[in-house]
Amino acid sequence: MEIKKAIVIGGGISGLCAAFELKRGGADVTLLEKSDRVGGVIGTHCEDGFKAESGTNTVMVNNQNIFDLFDSIGLSDEIARALPSAKKRFFVKCGKPMAVPMSPFSFLFSRLFSLGGKVRILREPFVKKEDPESEPSVAEFAVHRFGQEGLDYGLDPFMAGVYGGDPEKLSIKYAFPPFWNLVQKYGSVIGGGIKSMKEKSALGNYFKPVLISFKNGMKTLTDKLGEILGDSVKISAKVISVDASKGGWQVSWGTPEGDFCEEFDALVLAVPAHALAELPLCGNLASALKPLSEIRYAPVATLTLGFKKSDIPHPLDGFGALIPKKENLSILGSLFVSSIFDGRAPSDHITLTNYVGGERNPELAGLPEGKITEIVLADLRKILGLKGVPVFRKLYSWKHAIAQYNLGYGKILDTADLAEKEIPNFAIIGSFRGGVGVGNCIENGLTAGKRILDKLSKE
Ligand SMILES: Cc1cc2nc3c(=O)[nH]c(=O)nc-3n(C[C@H](O)[C@H](O)[C@H](O)COP(=O)(O)OP(=O)(O)OC[C@H]3O[C@@H](n4cnc5c(N)ncnc54)[C@H](O)[C@@H]3O)c2cc1C
């Protein structure tokens, strides 16, 4: 069989997975990455026994395909599963972390909600189902179904944790489809959740989600994929032109080694939506994808701090604490990283990764390191009773951190679907489509690679 050539532009986890799948399927792949390393927002900094992730700290594995990938690239032994204590999660109320109830019993005794708030939440199964054609925001949906406290101390901090997002702007349909789908299928989130769990258990195909990272941090995954792709990866690459006028894809790019121009059978775009506008795409592709540049990305800074264990009176016996907007604090949340995975801090020390900015306080994400440190330390003193000063610190500031699945997202997504349908041998992937989680990006990258291989095999 003739070997087909494919080019992937963008070397984050989405592009790496697409390129890996294409290479595994026998295609001759080239991956162009603008920066001097692969991984995109994923990266791990190790210093003096501390580990700081630049973005992703944890991956929720929702199906076996992802474990199969790790196995096939020889990373099964490198996986770090979250410690059992990480099951406990906190939301901050009245300035203090309160455990998020994980069972009906703990819900009844939780201090996160008032008695009236609990009664209102329990009424959810009797609330009118949303019109399937409507598109409520996360805030509208939460208040309608669970009442104001359900928003303030439920979906609001949760959305801050996942998207750094504003629940008034995020679309429930796209930002948190599980809740929307339960209502549409069963008429309620609570009742539907119970029914759907029973149905899955009866079918015997329920995959219990597993929270993981890698023993040496998330960089293990992206570095390994980069290593397998080998010479196919061209880092520090500047795309000069992408043209399809002569049939196939003619792509020119420049690297420190010189300029190149090659023809490819297939093109996969895996850059963030905000970066599409700066790519020199040919006319029809540029106009087909123009609406995607409208997707907003929340700016987020992550400040990882290391402390002596004795400096924090809180036992840090959980995953972390997310902050509801109502609490009027500056940070979005703090992950108790060394309570989630072993090996994230030297003995007698702990590591916390703190998130600053988001749609709630976008201006804070761009502040200088000293200012961000001050803000974070002030909040940690209030929330966790922090006494000492950090012995380790690492800041990453992302101007465009996380894609916002805001109202109107459906129309924007239609653009991508249409482009893939109408433009031959073309795929567009990334965290702006099909979920921002790394698990989603892995699956969507692999699927795009398979889809392209399938099309190429039929030519
Ligand atoms: C602070 C933060 C915390 C997060 N925490 C989690 C978490 O705990 N769990 C989780 O599941 N997810 C988390 N996420 C989300 C997840 O990390 C991302 O959604 C995912 O890694 C995005 O991967 P991607 O490949 O789609 O995009 P990116 O990682 O953005 O990669 C895109 C790549 O394209 C390259 N590029 C851009 N323009 C060009 C160009 N013109 N030419 C060539 N290359 C180009 C970029 O340099 C980059 O390498 C987090 C994200 C952030 C920012």
DSSP state of 154: I
Q: How far apart are the first and last CA of the chain?
A: 11
Mean pLDDT calculated for residue range 126-148: 97
CA of 56 to the centre of ligand 1 (A): 9
Q: For residue range 393-451, list pLDDT tens digits in order.
A: 999 999 999 999 999 999 999 999 999 999 999 999 999 999 999 999 999 999 999 99
Q: Which atom of ligand 1 is nearest to the CA of 16?
A: 25
Q: How far apart are CA 328 and CA 243, in angstroms?
A: 50
DSSP state of 114: -
Q: For residue range 216-247, list pLDDT tens digits in order.
A: 999 999 999 999 999 999 999 999 999 998 88
279 lines ligand 1 (CB under 6 A): yes
pLDDT above 70: percentage of residues in the chain: 100
Domains, the chain, ordered by start? 5-36+235-295+407-457 (3.50.50.60), 47-54+59-86+297-403 (3.90.660.20), 113-201 (1.10.3110.10)
Q: What is the pLDDT of residue 156?
A: 98
**Which amino acid is located at 267 in the chain?**
L
CA of 43 to the centre of ligand 1 (A): 10
Radius of gyration of the chain (CA): 23
The pair of structure tokens assigned to 324 is 């509801």
Q: For residue range 13-62, list pLDDT tens digits in order.
A: 999 999 999 999 999 999 999 999 999 999 999 999 999 999 999 999 99
pLDDT above 90: percentage of residues in the chain: 94
Helix spans in 164-315 (H)? 172-175, 177-186, 189-203, 219-229, 283-289
Q: What is the pLDDT of residue 410?
A: 92
Residue 219: partners with Cβ closer than 8 Å, 6 or more residues away: 39, 42, 43, 44
Q: Say whether pLDDT at 1 is over 70.
A: no
222 lines ligand 1 (CB under 6 A): no
Q: How far apart are CA 109 and CA 104, in angstroms?
A: 9
* 407 closest CA partner among 170, 245, 200: 170
Q: For residue range 417-428, list pLDDT tens digits in order.
A: 999 999 999 999
Q: How far apart are CA 129 and CA 185, in angstroms?
A: 10
Q: How far apart are CA 70 and CA 72, in angstroms?
A: 6
Mean pLDDT calculated for residue range 318-345: 98
Higher pLDDT, 358 or 199: 358
CA of 370 to the centre of ligand 1 (A): 25
* 268 closest CA partner among 404, 403, 419, 405: 419
Adjacency order of strands within the sheet including 331-335:
96-99, 90-93, 320-322, 331-335, 349-357, 297-308, 392-403
DSSP state of 137: B
Q: What is the pLDDT of residue 207?
A: 84
303 lines ligand 1 (CB under 6 A): no
* Three-class SS state of 55: coil
Q: Say whether pLDDT at 206 is over 90.
A: no
CA of 51 to the centre of ligand 1 (A): 19
* 4 closest CA partner among 25, 21, 18: 25
* Among 372, 431, 432, 442, residue to substitute to test ligand 1 (most atoms within 8 Å of Cβ): 431
Q: How far apart are CA 215 and CA 227, in angstroms?
A: 18
Helix spans in 204-312 (H)? 219-229, 283-289
CA of 226 to the centre of ligand 1 (A): 15
DSSP β-bridge partners for residue 198: none
Q: How far apart are CA 161 and CA 376, in angstroms?
A: 16
Q: For residue range 379-393, list pLDDT tens digits in order.
A: 999 999 999 999 999
* Residue 164 and residue 332 in contact, taking contact as beta carbons nearer than 8 Å: yes
* Cα angle value 452/454/457 (rounded, 5°): 110
Residue 320: partners with Cβ closer than 8 Å, 6 or more residues away: 89, 90, 333, 334, 335, 336, 337, 340, 353
